[in-house]
Chains A and B, each alone.
Chain A
Amino acid sequence: DQQVKQNSPSLSVQEGRISILNCDYTNSMFDYFLWYKKYPAEGPTFLISISSIKDKNEDGRFTVFLNKSAKHLSLHIVPSQPGDSAVYFCAATSNDYKLSFGAGTTVTVRA
């Protein structure tokens, strides 16, 4: 039973526009959330994270929002660039060193 869910398997967005990726979780013990990016034939790479004591964290073009009451987080990419085309995984942990991952969302940025 997946505790982290990414219900949109794919997203297509025009270059320069905003990409919004969504993630829901069921485990109320999760207290740290991360986003990973994965290109084909490569391992996932860490993108951005947020602690449960915050509701927003920003790093350049990437912003993660956390809504604890709704058990929902989102990743905003502004502006989207062709190099952002990849699979994005949402992950969460309750600080027991294990990450639980979602199924991933494939983002395609159109020129």
Chain B
Amino acid sequence: DVKVTQSSRYLVKRTGEKVFLECVQDMDHENMFWYRQDPGLGLRLIYFSYDVKMKEKGDIPEGYSVSREKKERFSLILESASTNQTSMYLCASSLMDRVGYGYTFGSGTRLTVV
């Protein structure tokens, strides 16, 4: 089974802090994604990557950046955390040519910015 592991289940950070959310997948998937889930808004795409060192903006990239130095690892960076970035963050991965089978998601990181 493909496994997508997010390093933290819960995080509490202060406004203005730089925050790193880490995601690792173990099945050699080319594509990796970061979404945030908010009530009434569903899952919204922040950034995605289809190859090492490649990244593309999703629908809501403002206030975020990403890093993909190795194929298995995709990091989401909040440059200066703000309270409106309090959310559930979900990492996902997929094979390049198997989008029809959907993504494999991690368990999520619940981030609270105070």
Binding site for B on A (CB under 8 A): 2, 4, 6, 9, 32, 34, 36, 41-46, 49, 51, 89, 91, 93, 95, 97-104
A9 to B41, CA, bound (A): 10
**Alpha-carbon distance between A98 and B42 when the two chains are bound, in angstroms:** 15
**Chain B's nearest CB lies how many Å from the CB of A86?**
14
Q: Count the B residues whose beta carbon is within 8 Å of the partner chain — how many?
A: 28
Asked whether, in the complex, the Cβ of A43 is within 8 Å of the Cβ of B108, the reply is yes
Indicate if the CB atoms of B99 and A32 lie closer than 8 Å: yes
**Does B90 lie at the interface of the complex (its beta carbon under 8 Å from any beta carbon of A)?**
yes
Interface residues of B in 93-114 (CB under 8 A from A): 94, 96, 99-108
Q: Which 10 A-B pairs have the closest CB atoms?
A: A43-B105, A103-B42, A46-B102, A101-B43, A101-B42, A34-B102, A43-B107, A44-B105, A32-B100, A43-B106
Q: Which residues of A contact B48 (CB under 8 A)?
A: 97-98
Q: Is B45 an interface residue (CB 8 A)?
A: yes
Residues of chain B within 8 A of A46, CB atoms compared? 101-104
Is there a chain A Cβ closer than 8 Å to B50's Cβ? yes
Q: A46-B101, A100-B45 are in contact. List 9 more A-B contacts (CB 8 A).
A: A32-B99, A43-B108, A89-B42, A97-B50, A97-B99, A98-B33, A98-B45, A99-B102, A101-B43
Q: How distant is the Cα of A79 from the Cα of B78 in the complex, in angstroms?
A: 44
Which A residues lie within 8 Å of B96 (CB)? 97
Task: Select from chain B the residue with minimum beta-carbon distance to A103.
Answer: B42
Say whether A103 contacts B100, CB under 8 Å.
Answer: no
Q: Which of A4, A43, A93 contacts B99 (CB 8 A)?
A: A93
CB distance from A64 to the nearest CB of B (A): 13
B-side contacts of A102, CB under 8 Å: 42
- The reply to whether B102 and A97 form a contact with Cβ atoms under 8 Å apart is no
